Structure 1
Amino acid sequence: MSPYERINPYRGTGRPPFRRSPWGRRVSAALPWVFVLGIAVGSMLPIRQWVPQWVPSHWSLNRSRDTDVIWQRAGAPDARHSVDVVRTIDGDTFEARVHLAPGPDLFTRVRLRGIDAPELKASCQHELQMAEAATVALRDLLGQGDVAIYNIGPDKYQGRVVADVATKKTDNVSAALLAAGHARAYNGGHRFGWCGNLIR
């Protein structure tokens, strides 16, 4: 045998030599790239996709705790507390930073007392148009500055208080929205939707 001849361990055994199929070679070559691609895709996914949806966010927990403190320490119904408007949510609700001295600022959502405005999650086109107009109207009123809340109480939803709201030019924002036709009077209980249906 030539010293350069390849040694075949299967020679004389009657078994054919093992040969990897072309398909197997392709799969083996692709595996490292599949792994790298998986790592890259995983790193681009938002972290919240990995967190169960039932776990409350840190912001939600803080706001719920702040809300309890706000209405418990609000004092007399006519005591006014200055707020910074964070954002307008819809025609009767906004998010605020409340200056409740002494102590640090607190965050909550404020539901305007005594009114119900159309919902942006509308049941019909008519309600959506009215909801958008009411949201703009509330944003404009709050934009007058010197926003304060008073007559503060707990709401049925966590992280939100019910309150009367005043601005630099408007003593009662709820009354202004009612007068302009952007909302209707509401003091709890069943309410009719803006598309003619009853909402509980």
Structure 2
Amino acid sequence: MTKNAFPIRTKSRRLMTIAAIAAIGSSALPVLPAQAACYDWPLREYRGEFAYDGDTIYVAVPGLPGEIANMSVRVRGVDTPGIRGSCESEKQLAQQARDYARQRLKSAKAVEFCEPEWGRYGGRVVATVRIDGSPLDLELINNGLARPYDGKTKRQPWCQG
């Protein structure tokens, strides 16, 4: 088990990351012909796990300098409950979503990150995630662990009242 420090989120770090990806361009992120661009970035362990919650995965992007290669990828298309939720039922569902994602990632033979792009918050990358060919967003939704989310509309609260 390797221990990696959680990436420090500073403005300069985000700018360095953007500049590095722009400089590396297609050499680090090849485009597949006639398909969505998908990458098999290595998962990275943080505190012994590959995911913070149901929709945030830790990766190490090859070809980037060490201080910016370790980043988080948000699963496109879903909103999972917050680990630090507003009520007990949200926290419990968040733990179930997190545990589901962690188990799927640990047992995966292949994890693909497709059509990655910069997210609006926290300098994270947003991507469609496929585990052994199956879309993680649909798995989470079909198991009642997430809601569809397009990234543009206001998220619905997980707690009643």
Give the TM-score range, shorter chain: 0.7 to 0.9
Distance in structure 1 (CA, Å) of the matches to 2:72 and 2:13? 8
Distance in structure 2 (CA, Å) of the matches to 1:95 and 1:158? 14
Q: What do residues 25-45 of structure 1 show as CA deviations (whole Å, max 9, x unaligned)?
A: xxxxxxxxxxxxxxxxxxxxx
Q: CA deviation at 1:136?
A: 0.4
> Given that residues 115 and 186 in structure 1 are in contact (C-alpha distance below 8 angstroms), is that contact kept between their aligned partners in structure 2?
yes
1:30-69 aligned at under 5 Å gives the runs 59-61=8-10, 64=14, 65-66=16-17, 69=20
TM-score between both structures, scaled by the size of structure 1: 0.59
TM-score between both structures, scaled by the size of structure 2: 0.72
In structure 2, the partner of 1:41 is none
Bigger relative contact order (CA 8 A; separation at least 6): 2
Structure 1 residue 82 corresponds to structure 2 residue 40: yes
Which residue of the other structure, out of 129, 135, 138, is the alignment partner of 2:101?
138
Letter aligned with residue 83 of structure 1: W
Letter aligned with residue 118 of structure 1: P
Structure 1 residue 196 corresponds to structure 2 residue 140: no
Q: CA deviation at 1:154?
A: 1.2
Q: CA deviation at 1:90?
A: 0.7
Q: CA deviation at 1:171?
A: 2.7
> Given that residues 7 and 71 in structure 2 are in contact (C-alpha distance below 8 angstroms), is that contact kept between their aligned partners in structure 1?
no
Change in CA separation of 1:133 and 1:63 when aligned onto 2, cut-off 3 Å:
farther
Q: CA deviation at 1:75?
A: 5.8
Structure 2: any 5+ residue segments left out of the alignment? 1-5, 45-49
For residue 83 of structure 1, give the secondary structure of its aligned residue in structure 2: coil
Distance in structure 2 (CA, Å) of the matches to 1:177 and 1:83? 21
Distance in structure 2 (CA, Å) of the matches to 1:149 and 1:182? 20
> Given that residues 41 and 61 in structure 2 are in contact (C-alpha distance below 8 angstroms), is that contact kept between their aligned partners in structure 1?
yes
> Given that residues 42 and 61 in structure 2 are in contact (C-alpha distance below 8 angstroms), is that contact kept between their aligned partners in structure 1?
yes
In structure 1, the partner of 2:61 is 98
Aligned-residue CA RMSD (Å): 2.8
Letter aligned with residue 129 of structure 2: V
Q: CA deviation at 1:163?
A: 0.3
Letter aligned with residue 60 of structure 1: R
Structure 1 residue 184 corresponds to structure 2 residue 147: yes
Q: CA deviation at 1:96?
A: 0.8
Distance in structure 1 (CA, Å) of the matches to 2:125 and 2:60? 12
For residue 133 of structure 1, give the secondary structure of its aligned residue in structure 2: helix
Distance in structure 1 (CA, Å) of the matches to 2:59 and 2:18? 11
> Given that residues 112 and 164 in structure 1 are in contact (C-alpha distance below 8 angstroms), is that contact kept between their aligned partners in structure 2?
yes
Q: CA deviation at 1:145?
A: 3.3
Change in CA separation of 1:182 and 1:156 when aligned onto 2, cut-off 3 Å:
same
